[in-house]
């Protein structure tokens, strides 16, 4: 009987120890998570309040993004921002999206010294954004240029004929809702689209000529859609210097009087999380972890949709991805 009592006591002690370590482990993990969240948000907020150079990343397909425009306006009002580096890695995108960012950056340049750094690629609307700065830096092998405008539309007229499907429409005028995808494009519709594209193209070329101090004829010659390496772009005066972000910062220090050795802080549109209540930020971090598990497969599936199908209106984009996929 004594042996049974001792065994029971040992079991209870073991159970208490296991319970203690479980609770201790949970507390440690919770404290670590909260501390990390506080540290990240605190460092982000502190870094933006101290003197620094703001880095604005322009990456991927450019769209008409209001949050990006709001962020640029916020940077313009921030006394701690002493200079701005536009870090571009984009094949372009929506022409109006590039135009909106260009004008927002031009307004920013009235208040802050501005320099552009083109990384791997900065073409079409991506190059348009770079034109907003007073100095453009690119690597020797950076891909840039592709100055021009594109209007694409699909047409399955022949396919519908093959399967015996006929689409009909009643229009207020012949050019209403043209082009459509179910009938042959008329010469009048093509002429209308040509006028649309050429009007936007002429604006883009004039922008290049003005911002790069080029003769209009030379600007138009370089705006035939060609892509160039950074080295070639330098010789054609489409950029100012070969190098990376260090060269861009050196230019800010030497030419614009920005203090040396200032930290470079990346501004992102999703950083308004710092303004949320603490409890909301904790919930968000947990949600992000769960969401990444559930939604990553869906996001991967989105990559199966060609980018061109997700852009509306006129686009200024170098579509190298399709060609690359065909060569794999």
Q: Does the predicted model carry a pTM greater than 0.85?
A: no
Q: What is the 3-state secondary structure (H, E, C) of 60-75?
A: EEECCCHHHHHHHHHH
pLDDT at 328: 40
Distance CA 121, CA 136 (A): 13
pLDDT at 311: 52
In the beta sheet, which residues pair with residue 138? 118, 242
In the beta sheet, which residues pair with residue 89? 59
Q: Is 124 a catalytic residue?
A: yes
- The phi, psi pair for 114, rounded to 5°, reads -130, 135
Which residue in the list 171, 176, 254, 288 is annotated as catalytic?
Answer: 176
Non-local (6+) Cβ contacts of 34 within 8 A are: 282
Question: 155-171 burial, b for 16+ CB within 10 Å, e for fewer?
Answer: eeeeeeeeeeeeeeeee
DSSP 235: H
pLDDT at 239: 98
In this predicted model, what pLDDT tens digit does every residue of 236-273 receive, in sequence order? Answer: 999 999 999 999 999 999 999 999 999 999 998 864 44
Burial class, 40, CB count within 10 angstroms (exposed 0-12 / middle 13-18 / buried 19+): middle
Distance CA 213, CA 34 (A): 53
Distance CA 159, CA 21 (A): 68
Q: Is 176 a catalytic residue?
A: yes
pLDDT at 324: 39
pLDDT at 36: 53
pLDDT at 18: 65
Which residue in the list 124, 133, 146, 316 is annotated as catalytic?
Answer: 124
Specify the residue for token string 């990444």. 292
Q: What is the pLDDT along the chain (328 residues), one digit of tens a residue?
A: 445 656 666 666 767 666 766 776 766 676 566 555 544 444 445 567 899 999 999 999 998 889 999 999 999 999 999 999 999 999 999 999 999 999 999 999 999 999 999 999 999 999 999 999 999 999 999 999 999 998 888 888 888 888 888 888 898 998 888 888 888 889 999 999 999 999 999 999 999 999 999 999 999 999 999 999 999 999 999 999 999 999 999 999 999 999 999 999 999 886 444 444 444 444 444 444 444 444 444 444 444 334 444 455 677 777 655 433 444 4
pLDDT at 155: 85
Q: At 97, which helix (H) or strand (E)?
A: helix 95-109
- Which tokens go with 139? 């690597």
């Amino acid at each position: 009987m004594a042996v049974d009592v001792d065994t029971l006591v040992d079991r209870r002690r073991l159970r208490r120890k296991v319970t203690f370590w479980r609770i201790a482990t949970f507390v440690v993990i919770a404290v670590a998570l909260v501390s990390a969240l506080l540290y990240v948000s605190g460092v982000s907020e502190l870094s933006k309040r101290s003197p620094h150079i703001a880095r604005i990343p322009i990456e991927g397909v450019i769209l008409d993004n209001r949050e990006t425009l709001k962020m640029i306006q916020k940077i313009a009002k921030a006394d701690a921002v002493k200079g701005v580096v536009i870090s571009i890695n984009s094949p372009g995108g929506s022409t109006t999206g590039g135009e909106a960012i260009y004008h927002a950056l031009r307004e920013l340049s009235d208040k802050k010294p501005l320099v552009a750094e083109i990384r791997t690629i900065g073409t079409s609307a991506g190059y348009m954004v770079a034109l907003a700065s007073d100095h453009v830096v690119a690597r020797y092998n950076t891909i840039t240029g592709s100055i021009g405008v594109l209007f694409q539309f699909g047409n399955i007229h022949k396919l519908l004929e093959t399967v015996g499907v006929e689409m009909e429409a009643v229009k207020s005028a012949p050019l209403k809702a043209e082009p459509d995808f179910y009938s042959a494009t008329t010469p009048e519709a093509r002429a209308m689209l040509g006028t649309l594209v050429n009007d936007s193209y002429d604006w883009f070329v004039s922008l290049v000529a003005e911002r790069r101090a080029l003769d209009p004829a030379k600007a138009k010659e370089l705006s035939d859609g060609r892509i160039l390496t950074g080295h070639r772009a330098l010789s054609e005066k489409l950029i100012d210097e070969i190098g990376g972000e260090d060269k861009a910062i050196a230019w800010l220090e030497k030419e614009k009087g920005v203090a040396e050795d200032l930290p470079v802080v990346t501004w992102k549109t999703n950083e308004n999380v710092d303004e949320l209540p603490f409890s909301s930020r904790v919930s968000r971090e947990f949600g992000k972890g769960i969401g990444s598990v559930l939604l990553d497969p869906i996001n991967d599936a989105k990559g199966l949709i060609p980018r061109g199908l997700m852009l509306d209106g006129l686009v200024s984009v170098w579509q190298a991805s399709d060609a690359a996929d065909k060569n794999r």
